[in-house]
Amino acid sequence: MRPVAYILCTVVSLLCAVMLLRGYVRGRHRLLLWSGICFSGLTLANGLVFVDLVLLPHLDLYLARETTTALSMLILLFGMIWEGQ
């Protein structure tokens, strides 16, 4: 059951990223761009969770997963600070 949850999390993150980036293309609000980039990175991180825990359980991708998540959050934080000024 856990693999299904990992796949659903990845799909939902991807859908959020697509909707945010489509919103940016339509309205040109830069915060939507930063959020879309963040969710793209979170999609990658969720995909890495699936690969790490289901497809390649003998391989440890913990550092790659956490680095991807942290960079995604930093991009969003940077965008919020940049747009707030």
Where exactly are the structural domains of the chain? 2-84
What the block records as the tokens of 12 is 């939902």
What confidence score (pLDDT) does residue 84 get? 83
Q: At what angle do helices 2-27 and 30-50 cross, to 10 degrees?
A: 160
Length of the chain (residues): 85
User: Residues 22-65: pLDDT tens digits?
Assistant: 999 999 999 999 999 999 999 999 999 999 999 999 999 999 99
What confidence score (pLDDT) does residue 74 get? 98
What confidence score (pLDDT) does residue 71 get? 98
Centre a 10 Å sphere on the Cβ of residue 15 and count the other Cβ atoms it contains.
12
CA atoms within 13 A on the CB side of 34: 16
